[in-house]
């Protein structure tokens, strides 16, 4: 099954396609210094919920970049419901090809670091989109420590440790203003939502040619989660601002 279709099936109905909450998203926006009139770009905006939250709470204007057409349509609906027309908009395209006409006050990538190939590459891409005093918000997975069983670490070679995230930010000339972590309930809700979406799809498609692969996918996700994800994997919103050195 094509990757975009798989994401739409498993997470397309989620308000936030990550193990976090609206309250934590708003806390990240506050730490990033969002305020009335701030210009924000979000790479991989999904259905637009995060930008809509920041728009309603902080009065930002925002641009979401999203490649899945069904998500773009949902984002447009979300933005229309969020408030004044034109303040939030979506551009349906490959984020790697996006070039801004002018720098933003904040650039975000929430659960979308795979687009650019990991945390460090995503940070570089976002820094290209903000001015010198701009902030960056990245929501991403990270290992709880550097003592991860090799068989698990090899399955996720691009995942850094939390300490490596800190080092990457400092190397880019940034200070870490906040880390807002997912808790166990956030993880359980997110993972369970994916399982339920797959089970619902299986129930509705008894004769689909991809049925067996979807069953294998479901069981692999559950094996990963209970085998090591719950114990070793973490997720957080990292808020980074220009360093004072």
Whether the CB-CB separation of 105 and 40 falls below 8 Å is answered with: yes
Share of the chain above pLDDT 90, in %: 83
Residues 181-200: tens digit of each pLDDT: 999 999 999 999 999 999 99
Asked whether residue 245 carries a pLDDT value surpassing 80, the answer given is no
Which string of b and e fits 51-90 if b means at least 16 CB within 10 Å? bbbbbeebebbbbbbbbbeebbebbbebbeebeeeeebeb
Question: What is the band of 148 on the pLDDT scale with cuts at 50, 70, 90?
Answer: confident
The pLDDT value recorded for residue 208 is: 95
Dist CA 111 CA 37 (whole Å): 25
Strand order through the sheet with 61-66: 88-92, 61-66, 39-43, 104-110, 130-143, 233-242, 174-181
Task: Supply 221's token pair.
Answer: 């996700």
What fold is seen in the domain 3-182+233-242?
Rossmann fold (3.40.50)
* Burial zone of 220 (CB within 10 Å; 0-12 exposed, 13-18 middle, 19+ buried): exposed
- Residue extents of the structural domains in the chain: 3-182+233-242, 188-224
What is the predicted pLDDT for the residue at 154? 83
Predicted TM-score (pTM) of the model is 0.94
Q: Which two tokens stand for residue 107?
A: 């650039």
Mean pLDDT for the chain overall: 94
């Amino acid at each position: 099954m094509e990757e975009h279709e798989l994401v739409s099936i498993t997470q397309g109905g989620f308000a936030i396609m990550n193990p976090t909450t609206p309250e934590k998203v708003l806390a990240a926006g506050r730490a990033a210094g969002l305020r009335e009139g701030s210009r924000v770009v979000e790479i991989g905006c999904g259905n637009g919920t995060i930008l809509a939250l920041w728009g309603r709470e902080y009065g930002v204007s925002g641009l979401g970049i999203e490649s899945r057409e069904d998500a773009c349509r949902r984002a447009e609906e979300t933005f229309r419901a969020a408030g004044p027309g034109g303040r939030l908009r979506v551009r349906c395209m490959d984020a790697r090809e996006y070039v801004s006409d002018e720098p933003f006050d904040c650039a975000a990538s929430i659960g979308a670091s795979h687009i650019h190939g990991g945390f460090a590459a995503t940070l570089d891409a976002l820094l290209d989109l903000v001015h010198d005093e701009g902030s960056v918000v990245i929501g991403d997975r990270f290992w709880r420590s550097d003592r991860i069983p090799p068989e698990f670490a090899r399955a996720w070679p691009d995942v850094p440790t939390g300490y490596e995230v800190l080092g990457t930010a400092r190397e880019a000339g940034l200070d870490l203003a906040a880390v807002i972590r997912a808790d166990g309930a956030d993880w359980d809700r997110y993972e369970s939502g994916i399982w339920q979406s797959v089970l619902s799809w299986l129930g509705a498609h008894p004769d689909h040619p991809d049925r067996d692969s979807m069953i294998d996918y479901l069981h692999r996700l559950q094996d990963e989660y209970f085998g090591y994800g719950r114990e070793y994997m973490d997720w957080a919103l990292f808020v980074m601002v220009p360093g004072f050195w």
